Amino acid sequence: MAITLYHNPRCSKSRQTLALLQEKGIEPEIREYLKDVPSAEEINEILTMLNMAPRDLMRKKEAEYKENGLDNPSLSNDELIAGMIANPKLIERPIVIKEGEARIGRPPESVLEIL
């Protein structure tokens, strides 16, 4: 049972989600997505698993969102995904993936739905 955690160690929700998984005896594969940025294909797969549009996976309150014009409603999904790749800080976190299912750990307990 492979479980991957898209993790930002500086994020409290990400740390809480990791601790919750470890409390359940799960040691996930940790993907520090700020250092190991997911590809467009990977982001598309995650969006499919989450049943979300690209903008739904973006942290819209981050300065980079507006600074890079990503708040423009006419941008295509591919352009939004390219914005996430160029600015991975904009990807909502943490994300837990298990066997083709994914959940965002906000709140951390929401990831328990797929375990």
Report pLDDT for 15: 97
For the question of residue 11 being annotated catalytic, the response is yes
Tokens, residue 29: 């594969």
Tokens, residue 59: 């942290």
Report pLDDT for 90: 98
Q: Residue 6: which H helix or E strand, with range?
A: strand 3-7
Residue tagged 């507006």 (tokens): 66
Which entry of 11, 30, 34, 75 is annotated as an active-site residue? 11
Q: What does the pLDDT look like over 68-114, one tens digit per residue?
A: 999 999 999 999 999 999 999 999 999 999 999 999 999 999 999 99
Tokens, residue 52: 């979300």
Tokens, residue 24: 């359940």
Report pLDDT for 1: 66
Predicted TM-score (pTM) of the model is: 0.94
Q: Is the pLDDT of residue 31 over 70?
A: yes
Distance CA 91, CA 38 (A): 10
Report pLDDT for 106: 95
Tokens, residue 42: 């990977």
Strands (E) located in 33-109 = 95-98, 101-104
Torsion angle of C-alpha atoms 36, 97, 12, 21, degrees rounded to 10: -120
All domains of the chain in start order, with CATH:
3-114 (3.40.30.10)
Report pLDDT for 52: 97
